[in-house]
């Protein structure tokens, strides 16, 4: 069933999500969502088997390419379906699929181009189990990024996002990292190209099966975030000319016309 005449796809970037995939899948509002796609980044568990048993369309990376690379495949495959709204939901059940209608409607109404499920807005992140050091680093990095972008987002680090088709076609996403910092780069690009970002409060759960990067990877991610935000500001000042902030940068829709790069 289309929402306001628009079709919706949910994409699941997966890595070792066998234990939580079924629960996540069952809470997706299937009467609203037209397509569900899972991209498996060479999991070491039964993620692919579980996904296929559930009837999910599955795309498999032969080797582990990284979280950013997983999203590139997710969005590329979703765009091939011709859908109007693409929602990225982690299959680790950290974020509730029940917010999909709210997030999708904010885009189909024409008010926003991108919608984020924010763990910070509701003030329940720590109650939900977010480690204190992650909460503090989230707030500090978000403050720095808002200073660099002059935006007022509550967080840049959520893994729950909805995009209009236009955004994913126009942003030069192939210029972005294949690592975790992809999440930040895509938001910086969204702001750079003048798309509208909305947010909804989203409770998040933290438990052993939920995916999470370790402390060392978190430090690396933090440094990459700071670098990306500085690149955004320097590009705005004309001191850098980077492909990821250029309309001439490589876009996902080039894959649709020229084949995989």
How confident is the model at residue 151, as a pLDDT?
Answer: 97
Q: Is 50 helix (H, G, I), strand (E, B) or coil?
A: helix
Q: What CATH homologous superfamily does 8-258 map to? A: Spore Coat Polysaccharide Biosynthesis Protein SpsA; Chain A (3.90.550.10)
Domain spans in the chain, listed from the N-terminal domain onward: 8-258
Tell me which DSSP letter residue 156 carries: S
- Report residues of the chain scoring pLDDT below 50: 255-261
Q: pLDDT tens-digit profile of 28-64?
A: 999 999 999 999 999 999 999 999 999 999 999 999 9
pLDDT at res. 261: 36
DSSP 202-234: --B---TTS----HHHHHHHHHHHHHHHHHHHH
Q: Which residue, 157, 164, 134, 125, is CA-closest to 228? A: 157
Judged by DSSP in three states, 8 sits in strand
Sign of CA dihedral 241, 242, 244, 248: positive
Q: What is the pLDDT of residue 257?
A: 40
Q: What pLDDT was estimated at residue 217?
A: 82
**pLDDT of the residue at 254:** 61
Residue pair 227/141 in contact by the 8 Å Cβ criterion: no
Using CA atoms, how far apart are residues 128 and 205, in angstroms rounded to an integer? 5
């Amino acid at each position: 069933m289309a929402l306001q005449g628009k079709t919706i796809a949910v994409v699941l970037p997966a890595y070792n999500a066998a234990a939580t995939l079924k629960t996540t899948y069952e809470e997706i509002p299937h009467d609203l969502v037209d397509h569900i796609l899972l991209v498996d980044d060479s999991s070491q568990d039964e993620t692919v088997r579980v996904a296929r048993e559930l009837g999910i369309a599955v795309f498999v990376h032969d080797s582990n390419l990284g979280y950013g690379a997983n999203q590139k495949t997710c969005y590329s495959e979703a765009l091939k379906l011709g859908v109007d709204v693409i929602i990225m939901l982690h299959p680790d059940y950290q974020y509730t699929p029940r917010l999909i209608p709210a997030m999708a409607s904010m885009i189909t109404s024409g008010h926003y181009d991108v919608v984020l499920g924010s763990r910070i807005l509701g003030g329940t992140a720590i109650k939900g189990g977010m480690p204190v050091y992650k909460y503090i680093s989230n707030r500090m990095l978000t403050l720095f990024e808002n200073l660099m972008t002059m935006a007022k987002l509550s967080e840049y680090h959520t893994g729950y996002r909805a995009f209009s088709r236009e955004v994913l076609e126009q942003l030069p996403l192939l210029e972005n990292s294949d690592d975790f910092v992809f999440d930040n780069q895509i938001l910086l690009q969204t702001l750079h190209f003048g798309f509208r970002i909305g947010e909804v409060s989203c409770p998040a759960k933290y438990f052993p099966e939920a995916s999470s990067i370790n402390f060392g990877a978190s430090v690396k991610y933090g440094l990459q975030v700071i670098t990306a935000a500085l690149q955004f500001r320097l590009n705005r000042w004309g001191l850098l000319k980077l492909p990821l902030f250029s309309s001439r940068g490589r876009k996902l829709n080039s894959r649709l016309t020229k084949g995989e790069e």
